[in-house]
Structure 1
Amino acid sequence: MVSPPVLVYVRPWNMAQFSDLAQGIWPDVSQVHVSEHGAVDQGGLKTAFYAAYKHISEDLQPLCLAEDQIADILLRCRLLRSIPLRRARRLLLAAEQAIEEVLDHHKPRAMLSITVDSYILQIFYLACQRRNIPFYGLVPSFINGYFRLTAMGERVVARDVPQQEIDAVTEQLLSTSYKPDFLPKSSHALRTKARKLWRRNLVKPAYFEARRRLSGDPLNYHYWSTSITARRYWSLRIQDYDGCIPRNRTDLPTISLEKPLIFLPLQMSPEATIDYWSTDTSWIDYEARVLKLLKTTADSHTILVKEHPNLLGFRSPGFYRRLAECSNAILVDAGVSANQLIQISDGVIICTGTVGFEAALRGLPVYTNSAPFHLPDNVALPLEELAKPCPARQNNITVQKLMIRHVLEGLLPGEFINDGSWQQGRNPQSEMINSLRQAIERGI
């Protein structure tokens, strides 16, 4: 009897990397690559998807998806929510048919993938759940030297953590110089990255639209969604972002010291950490949500707004101007460390951003309705609590170590490279493979 294979979701730029991971985790099990990219799809997904889309009828009903699940998929996917509803639903139902066909044919024992970042992967995840097929979604971590297993942002308790490791990571994270590896290391690197993002986006709309139409693959999620997103953020010149560099509260311009000072670190958007990880879906239209929040707190709070270092200049045209026009907003230079602003603030507002964890670790109140994985229950305050006086800062080493344990139980040792730069032989994955094998043996 043939042993069931492992289904491995790949894209052209990470096929070798995920093949290497799957081979290391399941050395005696065959693997089948599935992808919406025909060049790397071995499982028949692309062919089945186009066949289903061609023959789908207006009144077609879903095979297994409930209407509330369909509504959630349509809302969270950056492609589906950007195109007419009728066409979006047709794409979704065609994908469901194709995915059910692939799973019926291959009957996999497990599925290995990046974390859910599209309607294709969300449908795969839901179908795997229904069939009791383990779905292992991978994503890097904000703590250097670790990665995370999660499908849609949920916390997965993957291991037991020794006290020695908790102590070491606590010391690391409480250092004022700590910075995750994925952030620019200097102001020069930050500005260089911003210019590179802007230059690349100048050609993206035309390039990916042409790629979509001339490749014979007009429904390709990556080509289509990238073209739409690039158009939204396209600007003939790099957008100005002028922020102050405060050393303390007295450095802040036009500040009312009678109001609580709240730090709002902007997150990358559109991004899976907002689209799929937030239980509060009002953040999905991220820029509109930020501006609404500033408007509703105009009379009660002063808000420090800092751009994400990896997204400087890559917002919709006019967003920075609209931010600056908010009477209670103070824009802070993107190169200022989050820890520096945590020290002078009375509270932090986040969607799912890990700056919230850094703030809570230092005893600062954190406001969110999004249930981020990194905050234990009862640590975060709902946004509605902003109407009350901010609780006093509380530094407690016992609480800090409980928070570190909470996070580390959901992280695994190893470096996961998720930007397409992984190279065979140059970036060994042995630690990741060992961590994943142990977690899978644990029965997660």
Structure 2
Amino acid sequence: MNLKDLLGALPEGRVLTDPDVIESYARDRTFVEPGKALGVVLAESRDDVVATLRWASEHRVPVVPRGAGTGLAGGATATDGCLILSLIRMAEIRELSPQDEIAVAEPGVITADLDRAAREHGLMYAPDPSSYEISTIGGNLATNAGGLRCVKYGVTRDSTLGLEVVLADGRILNTGRRTMKGVTGYDLTGLFVGSEGTLGVITAATLRLRRVPRQVATVAAEFTSLRDAAAAVSAIIAAGCQPSLLELMDRTTLEAIDDWKNIGLEPETRAMLIAQSEGSPDEIAALCGAASFVAEASTPEEAAELIGVRRLAYQAKERLGQCLVEDVCVPRSVLPDMISAVEAAAARHGVTIATIAHAGDGNLHPVFIFDRGLAEPPPEVWAAADEVFRAALDLGGTLTGEHGVGLLKRRWLGLEAGPLVTELHHGIKQVFDPLNILNPGKAI
């Protein structure tokens, strides 16, 4: 494919064709081997995206949009013959309105940067995935990312009021509104959030901001049983405590962090629960009756250290080997049963699984660890993963709570979606992308 017309349609320096440079944009954080892309477009404006998609539509070239490449499902992995469309340079916060408690951000804005900008006005951007210091707003929108605070504030879709989207043929679509309420027509904003770049390319989002809580209490509890820790989570939710954060880490995860950062892990500790509440922490502490140790952080610095330990979890596990990172989600009342199912799968197949969880949502991240030298997980890992996914579905759960389907979960998608849902998904895709050029082969 000759890129001459595309080079002419975009400002100098926007199109990269060096194979080594292309390779650096072709992967996400999974082990998935990327295809051979034609080139990379470094979009700096909506007009760059429009020109790129018009060219791609005319020449029937598939386009793989990407942000920072922090995805964990293969959704931003290059495919053979594609054009990679990087949005990382579209990093402007176009507007931040304290009066209306909204921000308008481009897709390349780092999640934590938007939160920091909001906090200058006593506000915050609520979604906070563990990768918030490196992930982008566009990537969060693409997968409907959640994070540590989503137990109280919801996932990215719950903070998204409107979108500016470039469709596959280059037309510009504006969805949603700037108001807190609005029910005119179908919810196209909600449809695009979580669509993994298969329906259009988001070039700006109108996002809801929240007031920073006046007071937050942080509690840490250690348990000698992972199931006991999960049971405490179910009890906290059932009691109506409404924590703003409720995170769970198993022994394997804690050992990986301790080996790296020396956090003083006790030999008998099998799990740790970290909770934050915007009210009194006493009720949460009381519901951790099976814990071997419960303590409230006495200073904001101590609280930040505890949350920092949780955010180290994925990097610590990467030190152990290659990772297949999953994110099943189940009803919170059956969280102990799901925890037991993960432990049983690990034992049955002889696989190391390190589990962390946004436990207040019933969203578990079982991380399957395997040798670095392998191109993909060995059969026993896939077998254990299959068992975990089927257990989640049997318990009334879902294959993915926030990472998306991408490439890695497509083999199980039919188990949850079924033939009618699959037919409707493909019908929606046909409406927005009739030539099937937007991230083909991903998500559905």
TM-score (norm 2): 0.28
Q: Which one has the bigger strand percentage?
A: 2
TM-score (norm 1): 0.28
Q: Which one has the bigger helix percentage?
A: 1
